[in-house]
Amino acid sequence: MIEVIKNTSSKAKIISYGKNLKADFVLLKSETQFKNKSFLNSIVVNTPFEKNLEFYLSLPGEHNALNALCVLSLLYGLDLLNSNWREAFKTFPGVKRRQEILYADKNLVIIDDFAHHPTEVKVT
């Protein structure tokens, strides 16, 4: 699919991302740990500007790592990538009631993960 998209005659700038090794931005690793009552997702990617680039995300899981990779590729494509991007990903608080840690101790973690749109949240 990447080859098909890149071989189009469009004048648009095309930047690909994902787990496919032929993509411009490639997710190589996403490993989440739970430390100090918060998530820390260690992410390793290949990019056009650096190979085996490691950064951290405050949200767990590969799906969130891919979302972060999408944002990274967008910032790069729009020439908006600055020196603050790593800290922004590491400290991003996420969306209220999505994988929100309500309580944590050494034996128990309670997470609120209410995945409805804002109108439904307001009703509840």
Rounded average pLDDT over 71-84: 95
DSSP 8-state class, residue 106: S
With 0-12 / 13-18 / 19 or more C-beta atoms within 10 angstroms meaning exposed / middle / buried, residue 102 is exposed
Question: Are 6 and 22 in a shared domain?
Answer: yes
Residue 21's Cα: distance from chain center in Å? 18
For residue 45, report the phi and psi dihedrals to the nearest 5 degrees: -135, 160
Question: Are 65 and 112 in a shared domain?
Answer: no
80-89 per-position pLDDT tens digit: 999 999 999 9
Q: How many domains does the chain have?
A: 2
Q: Range of 111's domain?
A: 94-124
3-state secondary structure string across 6-60: HCCCCCCCCCCEECCCCCCEEEEEEEEEEECCEEEEEEEEECCCCCCEEEEECCC
Q: Domain holding 84: CATH number?
A: 3.40.1190.10
Report field, pTM of the whole predicted structure over 0.85: no
